[in-house]
Every structure is written in C-alpha cells, then in structure tokens.
Amino acid sequence: METRHRELDPSLFESATIDAYEGERIAGPPVGFWRDAWIRLKKNRGALISLAVLILVFATAFVIGPLISSQSPYTQDLSQRYLGPTSEYWFGTDKFGRDMWTRVWAGTRVSLYIGLLAALMDIFVGVVYGAVSGFLGGRVDDVLQRGIEILNGIPYLVVAILAMVVLDPGILTITIAIGLTGWTFMARIVRGRMLQLKNQEFALASRSLGASGFRLVWKHLIPNSLGLIVINLMFTIPGAIFAEAFLSFIGLGIQVPEASLGSLISDGAAELRFHPYLLWLPALVFCLLMICFNLLGDGLRDALDPKMRK
Amino acid sequence: MEMNGDNILEARDLLVSFSTYAGEVQAVRGVTFDLRRGETLAIVGESGSGKSVTAKSIMRLNPEANTIVGGGEILFDGRDLLKLSEKQMQRVRGPQIAMVFQDPMTSLDPTMKVGNQIAESLRKHLGMSRSRARERSVELLKLVGIPNAEERVKQYPHQFSGGMRQRVVIAIALACEPQILIADEPTTALDVTIQAQILDLLRELQEKIGTSVILITHDLGVVASVADRIAVMYAGKIVEIGTVRETFYDPQMPYTWGLLASIPLPTADRSQDLIPIPGSPPDMSDPPKGCPFTARCPYAMQVCPTEFPEYTVFSAEHKAACWLHHPMAPNVEPPVRIRGTR
Amino acid sequence: MIRYVARRLVYMVAALFIIVSVTFFISKALPGTPFANPKLSPQVREQLFEKYGLDEPLYVQYVKYIANVAQGDLGNSYYFEGRSVSELILQRLPVSAFIGVQAVIFGLVIGMVLGIVAALWHNTVWDTLAVVVAILGVSVPSFVLGPLLQYWLGLKLGWFPIAFFESWIYSVLPSLALSVFVVSTVARFIRTEMLEVMGQDYITLAKAKGLSGLAVIIKHVLRNAMIPLVTVMAPLTIYIITGSLVIEQIFAVPGIGEQFVQSVLVNDYSMILGTTIFFSVLFIVALLIQDIMYGIIDPRIRVSGAKE
C-alpha cells in the first residue's frame, strides 16, 4: 500500500509559529463564582420568577401595601363587619370590621421578620457552631457532634411549643422558640463543608504560608462555604415562617391584635363556612411565599452547587 | 455485511457527540479501526480524547438521553451494532462483548452479594439454574485469583479491596466467555503493584479463553507490556495506529512523539530531560478544522490548521495522519529522546 | 451491628432524659399553676402541696418525677380532675394513630409511584408533574390544605363529611390533608435517589451484563434507591404528629392532637407537658427504629457496623 499525496501550494508547508498556550489565554474577563452562579440561576425560569415574586411581596408588605391604602390593620369598626372585598376594603373586613388588605400585609411583615430573624440565628448559632466543630476537629468536634445528635432526637416543633408555653408571645420570643433547635441542620452542613475544605490544597497552602487559624477560617473556609450557607438559608426562612404559622394555629403564636399570616389563616379557617375569603387571601400569600422560597432555594442549589442536588 | 475474516470487529467512520448545556461536544469524530481475533488492541490518549466514548459506543452504553451517534458503523459478527434493537443488543452485551470499567470501587452494586452479581449474567445468558450459577460463580472467582472463593461469593463489595473488586468485575465480564473484552482503563484507579497483577491476570485469561481485547488507557507503560497493536487517539480522531513495535520504535506523528517523550524510562540517560507536551487539547464543542494537534505541535506548518491530514501508510499495519509526511513538507527528525529508543 | 444499636440507644436515652428534665423545670417555672389560685386558703394549698409532693425539696421532686415518667406515669390532668394524663392520651390514641397511619400508607404508595415515574421518564411531562406536585406538597401546609379540602370536597361537592369522627368515611379528608406532604416528600426523595443511582457505574455495569432495562431497574436501581428512603421515617413521624395537632383541630377529630391544643387553650400544664413527653418518645422510638432498619437493610452497616 502506498499513500497518494495531493499537489498543494508549497507555501502551505512553511513553518507556522503557533503558540501552544494560545488556547489557554483567557478570552474574556474572569467570571467569578457569584457571577457564574447568577448566569446559571438566570437559566432557571422557576427560580427567577420566584425571586421576582418574592421581591414584589416584600415591596408590597413593607412599602406599597400600606402606602396605597388609607385603612389601618388594627382599627375596629363593628358597623363594617364581614364585608366581602369592596372598593373601600379591597380584601374585605373581618369579624371586628378590620381591613383585611392592610392586615394581610401586616401579617406578611411579621412572618417575614420571623423568617429573617431565624435566618440570622441560623447564621450566628448554626454557622459558628459548625465552623468551630469542623475546624477544630478532634475531641471538640466529637463533643459538639454528640450534642447535636442528642438535640436531633428532640422534635423541634415540640421544643418550640414548650418554649412558647413558658415565654410571652412576641416576634422575638417566637423566633427564639423556633430557632432553639432549628440551627442544628445548618451546623451539620457547615461542619461537613469545613472538614472537607480544610484538608484541600489551598487551605494547606495558606497554612504553610503561616496564616493563622482565624485567618484561614475567615478568608478561605467561610467564603468557600457561603454558597452552601445561602442555599440553606433559603430553606430556613420558609421553615421558620411555617413554624410560626403552626404555633399561631394552635394558639401559641402572635397574639391579638397583632397578626401574622398564620394567625390570619387560623382565624379564617374558623369562619370558612360563611366567610371563606377570610382564609383564601392570607393563605394565598402564605403559599406564594413558601412556593417561591422553595423554588428559589432549589434554583440556588443548582446554581451554586451543581453537585449537591439532593 | 462484509467483514475481513481475520477481524472480529470493525469500526467505520464512527461519529459520536453529546448535547450539553455548553452546546454539542463532538467526542468521536470519524474513528475507524479493526480488531483482530485474539489480539489486544490498545487505544491510547489523554482524557477527553474520545477513547472511552469509543469503547462505550461499541457496547452502546453511552447515556441515552444526550448521546448523538452521528454516523458510521460498528460491524460485529456481520451485523452493525449501531443498528441493533435494544433487545438484540442485550444479547450481545455479556456473552459476546463484555466490559471492565475504570473504578472498581464504584462499579459493583453495594447492596448485592458478589456471587449474585456474577450469577446474574450466567442465569440470563446461559440459562443456568440458581445452584449451577452459584457453583460457576465460585469457579470464576477462583479463576480470577480470589482466594477462599466459596466464602467470598457470599460477601458484599465493600468487604473487598480495590484490586479484589477489579478481579470480581473481570470475573463478571468473563462469566459468559465473551468474544471481545473491552477494558476501559482497568488499572488506572489501582495501586501500581496491583496494576501489574491485574494486567497479568487479563493477559493470562485472554490466553485461556481466547478473547480479543480492546484496552483503553492513557498509560503507555501498560500498553507496552500487553498490547499487540496501538491506536493513538487525539481530539476524537485516531492520529496513529500500528503494532506496538512500530509505534514505540518508529512513531510517525508529533503527538505520539510527545507521548513517548513524556514517559520516564529507567534506562534513559539522565541528561535527556522529560519533554512535556505544552498546552492542552482543544475544546471539543468547537474542534479545530485541521489537525487538532496543530496548536501544540512544534513542527506546525501553514497547512496544518486548514485541513485534517490524510493517513500516510508506512506498513501493512502502520499509518499516521500528519502533514509532515506529505512529499512537499520539510524533512523533520523526531526529538533525540525518541530517536534514542530506536 | 450490636455496637451500632447500643450507640443509638444511648443517644435515645440521653435525648429522653433532657426532654423530661426540661419539662420538669418548665413545670416548676410556670406562672399559673392551678394551686396559685388566690381563692384557695393557705390550708387547702398546703394540703394540695402535700398531696402532690410539692413541699419536698426540688431535687427530691425531680428524682420522683423522673422515676414516675420512666414508669409511664405522667401525672394527673389539672383540668380533668382525677384523670391521669397517660389514661387521657391512651384513650385518644387509636383515632390519631388510625388517621396518621392511613395518611402515611397512602402517601408512601402514591409518592413512590410518582417518584419512580418521574425518574424513569426524566425530563418529560410526567417528571414536570411530579416536581410540581412535590413543590406544592411541601409549600402548602396542612392548615391551608385542610380547610381547602373541607370547603371543596366537603362543602361544595358534599362527598365527605367535614368534621367529627364517626366512621371510616370521616377519616378520609383528615388523612388526605396529612398525606399530601408525605406524597411530595417521598416522590421527591425517590426521584432524586433514582436519578443519582441511575448515573452510577454499577448501573452501567449491570447494563453491560446484558440485563434488560426492567431487570436493571428492579434489581439494581430500585434496590439502591429505596434504602435511603428509610431515613424519611422519623421526619415523617414527627410531621404526622405535629400535623395531627392542626388537622384534628380543623376537622374536629377527637384525637391526641385536638386534646393537646385544647389543653394549651385552658392552660392544663400537666397535660401539655405529658403529651410533649409522649410525642418525644414516639419520635425518638421512630428514630431508633429508623436507624436499626437502615442497619438491617444496608449491608454496609449490617456487616461491618459502619458506612464506608
């Protein structure tokens, strides 16, 4: 066998200087972790819509809702009881003649406060506990982990109920009651991440360059765990909102005249037969919040940590 | 379909790509090779060169959801495997063509006893009874050199070491005495001492059973000791193919030179440094039009990026795709280190 | 395996001990016990204190309390005079258990079917449907779903009674309301597990053996995907317990949950604390059974005592 070669222009066979690293030159500006995550999140329509809806709910609850209505959520007017939605009372009135539109948004505000406070607790207790446990390792880790295992043996809503039996109900006490054992999941996740990260090369490199333990945690380990923490918060917040609503439903949550979405739903459910609108409106806002947080959480998880899809 | 009588398998112009979020990745771009009866053919290349995809295409085991077989045929036993129905293909997998995978730690089902995992294919393809399949599993474990096989069949994968697990995987592959065994980097995940044992085992079993073997690897050291012929893959194409002697002692393509120059040889003079290949393989979602190695090739010419070179035939077995062999190209000698081994 | 079970038992006892201790100290710290009633004369109060052992030093009371609880004695209800908390709980247990178990069975079956279908037909309409159901199920809480079912299936369509508990038909709506969360949890879990397992090397190897698609799914995929399902057992138990508090309230079901909420409303502290302990025991036992079952099903734990 012999290969037959075509006739070609001799100039083609002149040497070409080609830079082997040409292909490795970075074509555009570097895409950072968060930017990259945002690009991925943008492809997830459900998450994006959820984000938009959440922003809208926040804006309505805190600014727009109260601003465009002249009614007050607490003023009782017994002559205006059980009015269905009208031009004056957009969501109708309740059994004391209070305006439901402003009440629903006041309740949303309370629910959101509680969700955000619980998130803060998760960060201050859960992240710190997990970081300490994972970073120090050894005996400290052992003891802290046994503690978590015991706490996990106690149902958290039961703890919240017990706490609320003792504490005076208020936004802060409710959040504390909910957060009392709620942080353990965050602690576990952060610990796992720390254990995994601290033995990776970049952490070892930083150590071998003489970085202090604190610096290592603060500059390397925490930033590298942020994605995970953010994802987790997206599930803590609706969890806390749910827990508060649950407590309100069994009479241990926010007390009148204050309202939360949970207490509004509870009141509404009691009058379902004749005045169903009292239930539907707060329930709608509540479910919307839950769905959006869940979808956004799922989206963020896929965007920030594609390997952790469970 | 026509096949050369010496060949047990012929791949012709195989084209395989994957649809991903980043676009279509062209993993295999027109691969052609034969597998002779009883031989060991090594397919060598860097990760991402398409060698594993080629192997899995023969078994049709690439993920169904996003694999696109763009063309070509894989002839086996007078039939084109790519055209078989899934049912027909199931009768090929196991008794005709079997496969050993790279990572023995993950290729066994953790919840099933090792014996049952072997027995599964015996019962399915050879119609053995439960008790007969069990006896045969014990024999197979003995065959692949697992001591205390009677006890071991009742154990779960996590009770085996990596090397032992790979022996189990080989026992599963050989259970129905297939005509072709595809070993996809069978030793990569193992310790060096275990690697040698597994390779010896493969060679020994090949002699005993007379199977043809396709050995996928990136390790030229492995190839030298077990293969009859070598196909070098780069960026989804075979760039050089020949007998082990020819490819090792008379390589004809700068990429093969690079590969050979980058293996440390204990006999080599210390003054001859290892020569790494600069750069990295091209992005396969947008592969270069011409020779894919151009960007990393120290001998690149103007023609190289414009068109993929035709194969130049050096002997009955040996051919390579490189513009340097065009009569109009300047005469280029391989680097000193390669010449030194001739 | 024995060491593994022993370890779980120790945690279980520790968790129980903490709960019982906490409830004891809460009961001491509570503001309004029935005996704080100012109308009671000091003599009567003293008699009552003596009767309930409240005049003894705190640590003696504590030890006695722990000993009582260990024997299943949760004290007497403050509200239903003369009736023990344990008796009140046990009396209400069957109804709650029936509704809860029915919800779990229904949820498991439907959830598994949904999850398996979604994983096998990944990225199709079925998959999308299952994902939507799963998201709705975890987002719409039972206290919204309950009234919704009551209004729609009960009031508007009149298919099911909406309150009380007289025969099986009365249990349909409460169980349904409880089960939606179970359905979505299980469906979501099975779906992700199966997708994960289907990408594993050992599944490719099973296919490389020439097994049929169905055999691969039944013998390898499902088997591996179902094992971790055991881990949802304890979370589902606690969900059913807490869910029953609101569901029984909504549907006026005479179960433990409804009784608990009533005792919260009337400040029947001994009942609240006793029921809390009961719930905790249920959860902890579920957790223990879950861990032991996991150990039995997963050979990695059963044989070696530890997961690699």
**Taking CB atoms and an 8 Å limit, are B61 and C210 in contact across chains?**
no
Identify the contact set of chain C against chain B, taking CB-CB distances under 8 A: 122-123, 200-202, 204-213, 215, 219-220, 223-224, 227, 298-300, 303-304, 308
The subunits that touch chain A, with at least 3 C-beta pairs less than 8 Å apart, are B, C
Of C140, C265, C276, the CB nearest to A287: C140
Mutate to test the interface with B, among C205, C207, C211, C297 (most CBs of B within 10 A): C205
Q: Radius of gyration (Cα) for chain C, nearest Å?
A: 24
Chain C: closest CA distance from residue B285 (Å): 23
Q: Is C146 on the interface with A (CB under 8 A)?
A: yes
**Taking CB atoms and an 8 Å limit, are A246 and C146 in contact across chains?**
no
The owner of tokens 């149902």 is A155
Q: Is B132 on the interface with C (CB under 8 A)?
A: no
**Taking CB atoms and an 8 Å limit, are C246 and A154 in contact across chains?**
no
pLDDT tens digits along A84-97: 777 666 677 777 76
| Closest of C289, C84, C156, C55 to residue A153, by C-alpha | C289
For the sheet with B7-20, list strands across it: B23-36, B7-20, B67-76, B79-80
Chain B: closest CA distance from residue C152 (Å): 41
| Closest of C2, B99, C128, C297 to residue A46, by C-alpha | C128
Mutate to test the interface with C, among A161, A164, A184 (most CBs of C within 10 A): A161
Q: Is A49 on the interface with C (CB under 8 A)?
A: no
The subunits that touch chain B, with at least 3 C-beta pairs less than 8 Å apart, are A, C
Amino acid at C240: I
| Closest of B183, B311, B290, B169 to residue B240, by C-alpha | B311
**Taking CB atoms and an 8 Å limit, are C211 and B121 in contact across chains?**
yes
Of C204, C223, C299, the CB nearest to B101: C204
Cβ B282 vs Cβ A23: under 8 Å: yes
**Taking CB atoms and an 8 Å limit, are C204 and B94 in contact across chains?**
no
Q: Which residues of chain B have pLDDT under 70?
A: 1-2, 265-273, 336-342
Of C210, C223, C308, the CB nearest to B158: C308
A200: which DSSP letter? S
**Taking CB atoms and an 8 Å limit, are C210 and B121 in contact across chains?**
yes
Q: Look up the ipTM and state it.
A: 0.85
Of A1, A10, A24, the CB nearest to B328: A10
C31: which DSSP letter? S
Q: Which residue of C has its CA nearest to B157?
A: C300
Identify the contact set of chain A against chain B, taking CB-CB distances under 8 A: 1-3, 5-8, 10-24
How far apart, in Å, are the Cα atoms of C177 and each of B25, C98, C149, C227, C241?
48, 14, 7, 27, 13
3-state SS class at A16: coil
**Taking CB atoms and an 8 Å limit, are B109 and C215 in contact across chains?**
no
Of B294, B303, B310, the CB nearest to A18: B294
Chain C: closest CA distance from residue A230 (Å): 19
Q: Is B108 on the interface with C (CB under 8 A)?
A: yes
pLDDT tens by residue, chain C, 308 residues: 777 788 888 888 888 888 888 888 877 777 655 555 666 677 777 777 776 666 778 888 888 888 888 888 888 887 777 788 888 999 999 999 999 999 999 999 999 999 999 999 988 898 888 888 888 888 888 888 888 888 888 878 888 887 777 788 888 899 999 999 999 999 989 998 999 999 899 999 999 999 998 999 999 999 899 888 888 888 888 888 888 888 998 888 999 999 988 888 887 888 888 888 898 888 888 888 888 888 788 887 776 554 43
How far apart, in Å, are the Cα atoms of B100 and each of A82, B59, B156, C44, C49?
74, 11, 19, 85, 78
Of A2, A5, A23, the CB nearest to B295: A23
**Taking CB atoms and an 8 Å limit, are C135 and A272 in contact across chains?**
no
Instruction: Provide, as residue numbers in chain A, all residues whose Cβ is less than 8 Å from the Cβ of C19.
Output: 154
Q: Which residue of B has its CA nearest to C306?
A: B158
Q: Could you tell me the pTM of the whole model? A: 0.81
Cβ A186 vs Cβ A240: under 8 Å: no
Cβ B29 vs Cβ B235: under 8 Å: yes
* Tokens read off for A84: 């269905």
Angle at B22 between CA B16 and CA B27, to 5 degrees: 20
For the sheet with B319-321, list strands across it: B97-100, B180-184, B212-217, B40-44, B229-234, B237-243, B319-321, B311-313
The subunits that touch chain C, with at least 3 C-beta pairs less than 8 Å apart, are A, B
* Tokens read off for A290: 């839950």
Report B:111-130 residues touching C (Cβ under 8 A). Answer: 111-112, 120-121, 124-125
pLDDT tens by residue, chain A, 310 residues: 456 677 778 788 877 766 555 555 555 566 677 777 788 788 888 888 989 998 988 888 787 777 777 667 777 776 767 677 776 666 777 777 677 888 888 889 999 999 999 999 988 899 989 988 888 888 888 888 888 877 777 777 778 888 887 888 888 888 888 888 788 889 988 888 888 887 777 777 877 777 777 777 777 787 888 888 888 898 889 989 988 888 888 888 887 778 888 888 888 888 877 788 888 888 999 999 999 998 898 888 888 765 543 3
Instruction: Provide, as residue numbers in chain B, all residues whose Cβ is less than 8 Å from the Cβ of C216.
Output: none
Q: For residue A179, how many other CB atoms are within 10 A of its CB?
A: 26
A28: which DSSP letter? S
| Closest of C176, B71, B172, B272 to residue B263, by C-alpha | B272
Residues 6+ away with beta carbon under 8 Å from B305: A16, A18, B288, B289, B290, B291, B294
Q: Is A64 on the interface with C (CB under 8 A)?
A: no
